[in-house]
Chains A and B, each alone.
Chain A
Amino acid sequence: MEYKILKKDQIIKLYNDLTKDYNFFAPIKEKRNIVFRKITNPEEIVLDYLNSKVPPKEILFPEKDILFEYKINDNEIELEEPKNLNEQNIIFGIRPCDAHSFVLLVNFFSQGDFKDEIIINRRKNTILIGIGCNTPKSTCFCTSVEGNPFQKDYMDVFLVDLQNEYLVEGISDKGKDLIKKLSWLADAKEMDIEKAQELKKQAEESITTKLDLKDIDKILDPNFDHPIWKEVSETCIGCGTCSFLCPTCTCFDVIDENVPNKNRGRRIRIWDTCQSCLYTLHTSGHNPRNSCIQRVRNRILHKFCYYPENYGMLGCVGCGRCVQLCPVNNDLRTIIEKIKKIEPKREEKVSA
C-alpha cells in the first residue's frame, strides 16, 4: 500500500490541479455554519472542523433539485433534462460518518423499479477525499453504528491530519489513480504511518457515547404501541431539525412551478421531513400521523427498525447532529437508552 504526504500549504496546489477536471466541493464557513460548497477560493477551505452543520448529502441530494424544465411550443412539449449530471465532482474533507451516509443514500435511491438516476449518477461521478476525525465530539457515536472516526472504507482517498501535513492514502481504484496523477506528492515515511495509527487509536478511545444497538429492531418491532412513545415525544415541537439536517434522511416533496401564460415551467424536488404535520396529510383531511407521538415514533422506527428489516443495516451513522441541534434537547441517545430498557413482552397466552 502506498502512502503519500500532502503539506498543508499544498492544498491550494491540489485544488488548482483537480479543479480543471472536477467540481471541487469542500467545507467552508458560510455565515455561522460549516457547509460544503463548490469552492472557487481554496483559501476558504476549513479542514479542522468538528462536523458540518448541513451534511454533504446536499451535494447528492440538494435542498432544491430541478428534475426537469419544460416548454410548450404549439402542441409540442419540449423537455429539458437537468444539466451537469455528467460533471465530475470531488468532495474534499468529508468525514467518515457522512461518507457512510452516502452508502445509505445510494441504497435508498436504488431500490426497486424506480431507480433515481439523478442521484445514482451524481454519486457515480463523485470522488470522496475524506479525512479522519482526530477529535470526535462527545455526541459522536459512529463506533456504535459500524463506523469509527478513521473509517476509510467508503472513501476513495483518505487523509489523516498529522498536524503539519496530511497522510494521504488511496483506498479505491479511483482514488489510487487520482493519487498517481498527483505525482508531486511526497512519499510518506514509516514514522508518519505510525503516527496516523496512534491518532486513530486516540480518536477511537475518545468516543464517549456508546450505544448498544444490537437487535434494537427486535425490541422495536413488537412495541409500536408502547407508552414510551408518548414519553419521548412529549416535548417535541415538531420542528424537523433532527431530520432536515440528518445525513441519512431522504424524504422529499416534489413540486411543479408553472409560469402562467408563458407555457413553461419546471419540476423541483425539495427536502421534506416526517416530523412535519403536512407530511402525511391526506387530501381528505385525514392525517394518519396527526401528532408528535406518531411522528417521533416514525423517525426512530425508520432508522432503527425498518432500515434493519428492509436493508439489513441501521439507518443512522452516528454523526450526532440531531443530538446537538434539537432545540428542546430531545436527545436520541436518551431515547435509545429508554428503548433498551423496554421489558421484553411475555409470550402471549394462546387461549383455546
Chain B
Amino acid sequence: MVIENENKEIEQLIRDLAGKLLEEKQVDVIIGYTEGTVPLSSSPIVIDKAEDVDKLIWNNLCYINLAKYLVPRIPTLMNEEGQKLKVGIVSKGCVGRALIHLSVEHQLDLESIKIIGIPCNGIINRKKIEDEIGEREIFDISVSGDNIIVKGRDFEKVFPFNEYMNELCKVCQVKSPPFLEDICVGECLENPVIEDDFSDIAEFDSKTTEEKWEYIKSLLETCTRCYACREACPMCYCNLCFVDQNQPVWFGKTTGYSDIFVFHLVRAMHMAGRCVGCGACSSACPMGIDLNLINRSLEKIAKERFNFTTGIDPRSLPPMMAYDIEDKEEFMMEED
C-alpha cells in the first residue's frame, strides 16, 4: 500500500480508538501527535474530550517518543484534585517498547495506562532531508506514493522514502507495540520474535578502534551540551542525571572535548540494554548529531551477550540489573 493511504488508515485507527477510550471513560486523557506549525515537525498533544480526536494525526514526522510524558522526570498528569489521570497513549512500536521497559524498571505501572497500538511505517530522517536542501527554506513536506516531496520557494524535490527514513526505522522489527492483555488496544504484535543480524552496522563494527574513535570524535565535535538528546529520551528519566551532580561535581561541564566525550560515553553506558531504538534523541538534537550508530551498537551488545532485546517482555530482567553466573564477562576482563 502507498504510504499516504497507510497514514490515513493509521490516523483513523488512532481517532476511533481514542474516541472510544474517552467516551467509555476507560482513560481520562490521550497523549498523541498533532500537526506541527513548521514544516518537518509534529507536536505532541494531550486531549481529554472525545470531540477533539480529530486533532490527533499520524504522519511520518511523529518522531517524539511519547513514553517520555509518563516518566518521573516530567510532572505526572493529574486532575484538579491531585489524582493521577488514567492515560491512553498513542504507541508506535518504539513507544510501546519504551513503556514496557519503563515498567520493567519499575518506573511505570502498565495497569494505569492504555496502549493504543499502531503499525508505524517509519519516520522521515529530517536531518538528511535538510542536508540535501541546504540553505533554502522548506515550506512543505508531504508523502506521495513511495516518495517524500519537499517544496520551497522555487524548488521541489523528491526523495525515496525507503532511503530517507531514519536509519533506526530501516532496521526496526517491532513496528507495533508488543501485545499486552487488557492494556493494548489497536494493532499490536503478539510474541514478537526478533532476528537481527545487525548488518546495518557491520561496516562500522569492522573498523579499527582508532577509526571508531575518529568517527565518534568527529560526530560529537559540534555538541553544545544542551542535553536535548537526554530530555527527549524516554529512558533518561533520572531526576538528577549523573552529569548534573554538583555536590561534588562528578564530571566536567564544559564543551571541551573530553567533557563532551565523557558525557556521551557515560550516557551510552547507561543506555546499554535500555535503549529502545526510537531515534528521538537524534531527532531532537538541534545540532544534527546522529547518535544512531552508538545506539545500534548498544543494542547489538545486549543481544549478543545476553540475548536481550529491550522492551519486548514486561517480565524480563534487564541484563544490566540482573546477575547470572553464566554471564559472559570476557569483555570486562583483559585477556592479556
Interface residue from B46, B73, B239 paired with A234 (Cβ < 8 Å): B46
A161 to chain B, nearest CB (A): 13
Residues in chain B near residue A331, CB distance under 8 A: 37-38
Inter-subunit contact B232/A64 (CB<8 Å): no
A324 to B221: give the CA distance in the assembly, Å: 22
- Report the nearest A residue to B45, measured CB to CB: A235
For chain B, residues 38 to 76, give those with C-beta under 8 angstroms from any C-beta of chain A: 38, 41-46, 63-64, 68-69, 73-75
Please tell me if A32 contacts chain B, counting CB pairs below 8 Å.
Answer: yes
For chain A, residues 105 to 141, give those with C-beta under 8 angstroms from any C-beta of chain B: 135, 137-139
Inter-subunit contact B228/A329 (CB<8 Å): no
Knowing A64-B255, A292-B74, the reply to whether A239 touches B226 (Cβ < 8 A) is yes
A29 to B17: give the CA distance in the assembly, Å: 46
For chain B, residues 226 to 243, give those with C-beta under 8 angstroms from any C-beta of chain A: 226-228, 231-232, 239-240
Inter-subunit contact A334/B37 (CB<8 Å): yes
Inter-subunit contact B246/A278 (CB<8 Å): yes
Please tell me if B200 contacts chain A, counting CB pairs below 8 Å.
Answer: no
User: Count the A-B residue pairs with Cβ separation under 8 angstroms: how many?
Assistant: 126
B112 to chain A, nearest CB (A): 19
B2 to chain A, nearest CB (A): 26
Please tell me if A257 contacts chain B, counting CB pairs below 8 Å.
Answer: yes
Please tell me which stretch of A7-15, A162-170, A193-201, A265-273 contacts chain B, meaning at least 4 of its Cβ atoms lie within 8 angstroms of it: A265-273
Inter-subunit contact A48/B287 (CB<8 Å): no
Knowing A48-B135, A50-B135, A240-B227, the reply to whether A270 touches B254 (Cβ < 8 A) is yes
Inter-subunit contact B139/A329 (CB<8 Å): no
Residues in chain B near residue A137, CB distance under 8 A: 137
B60 to chain A, nearest CB (A): 15
A293 to B46: give the CA distance in the assembly, Å: 15
A256 to chain B, nearest CB (A): 9
Interface residue from B38, B68, B136 paired with A329 (Cβ < 8 Å): B38
For chain A, residues 242 to 295, give those with C-beta under 8 angstroms from any C-beta of chain B: 244-245, 253, 255, 257, 268, 270-271, 273, 276-278, 283, 291-293
- Report the nearest A residue to B61, measured CB to CB: A329
Knowing A32-B131, A33-B287, the reply to whether A237 touches B37 (Cβ < 8 A) is no
Q: Is the interface of A mostly helix, strand, loop or mixed?
A: loop
Residues in chain B near residue A334, CB distance under 8 A: 37
A215 to B69: give the CA distance in the assembly, Å: 35
Most central of B136, B284, B287, B288 by chain A CB within 10 Å? B287
Encode B209-250 as 1/0 by CB contact (under 8 A) with A: 000000000000110111110011000000110001011010
Residues in chain B near residue A31, CB distance under 8 A: 221-222, 287-288
Inter-subunit contact A63/B224 (CB<8 Å): yes
Inter-subunit contact A237/B232 (CB<8 Å): yes
Please tell me if B295 contacts chain A, counting CB pairs below 8 Å.
Answer: no
Most central of B75, B222, B226, B283 by chain A CB within 10 Å? B226
Interface residue from A33, A237, A330 paired with B231 (Cβ < 8 Å): A237
Residues in chain A near residue B153, CB distance under 8 A: 135
Inter-subunit contact B137/A50 (CB<8 Å): yes
Residues in chain A near residue B226, CB distance under 8 A: 239-241, 244-245, 273
Please tell me if B256 contacts chain A, counting CB pairs below 8 Å.
Answer: yes
A257 to B225: give the CA distance in the assembly, Å: 18
Residues in chain B near residue A255, CB distance under 8 A: 249, 253-254
Inter-subunit contact B286/A241 (CB<8 Å): yes
Knowing A31-B221, A53-B286, A271-B224, the reply to whether A138 touches B231 (Cβ < 8 A) is no
Residues in chain B near residue A313, CB distance under 8 A: none
Inter-subunit contact A240/B253 (CB<8 Å): no
Please tell me if A54 contacts chain B, counting CB pairs below 8 Å.
Answer: yes
For the complex, count residues of A whose C-beta is within 8 A of B. 51
Residues in chain A near residue B284, CB distance under 8 A: 237, 239, 241, 327
Knowing A64-B254, A244-B226, A327-B228, the reply to whether A32 touches B288 (Cβ < 8 A) is yes
Inter-subunit contact B244/A278 (CB<8 Å): yes
A323 to B222: give the CA distance in the assembly, Å: 21
Residues in chain B near residue A271, CB distance under 8 A: 224-225
Interface residue from A244, A253, A327 paired with B224 (Cβ < 8 Å): A244
A253 to B255: give the CA distance in the assembly, Å: 13
Inter-subunit contact A235/B44 (CB<8 Å): yes
For chain B, residues 169 to 193, give those with C-beta under 8 angstroms from any C-beta of chain A: none
Please tell me if A238 contacts chain B, counting CB pairs below 8 Å.
Answer: yes
Please tell me if A328 contacts chain B, counting CB pairs below 8 Å.
Answer: yes
Most central of A32, A33, A245, A276 by chain B CB within 10 Å? A32
A282 to B79: give the CA distance in the assembly, Å: 28
Encode A325-345 as 1/0 by CB contact (under 8 A) with B: 101111101100000000000
B137 to chain A, nearest CB (A): 5
B298 to chain A, nearest CB (A): 22
B24 to chain A, nearest CB (A): 24
Interface residue from B46, B227, B249 paired with A235 (Cβ < 8 Å): B46
Inter-subunit contact B36/A240 (CB<8 Å): no
Inter-subunit contact B254/A268 (CB<8 Å): yes
Shortest Cβ-Cβ A-B pairs, 5 listed? A32-B288, A239-B228, A327-B284, A329-B43, A239-B231
Question: Given contacts A237-B64, A239-B227, A329-B41, could you give 20 more A-B pairs where the C-beta distance is less than 8 Å?
Answer: A30-B222, A31-B288, A34-B135, A50-B136, A50-B137, A53-B286, A64-B254, A64-B256, A240-B228, A241-B226, A241-B286, A244-B226, A245-B224, A268-B254, A276-B244, A292-B75, A324-B38, A327-B64, A329-B43, A333-B37
Binding site for A on B (CB under 8 A): 36-38, 41-46, 63-64, 68-69, 73-75, 127, 130-131, 135-137, 139, 153, 221-222, 224-228, 231-232, 239-240, 244, 246-247, 249, 252-256, 283-284, 286-288
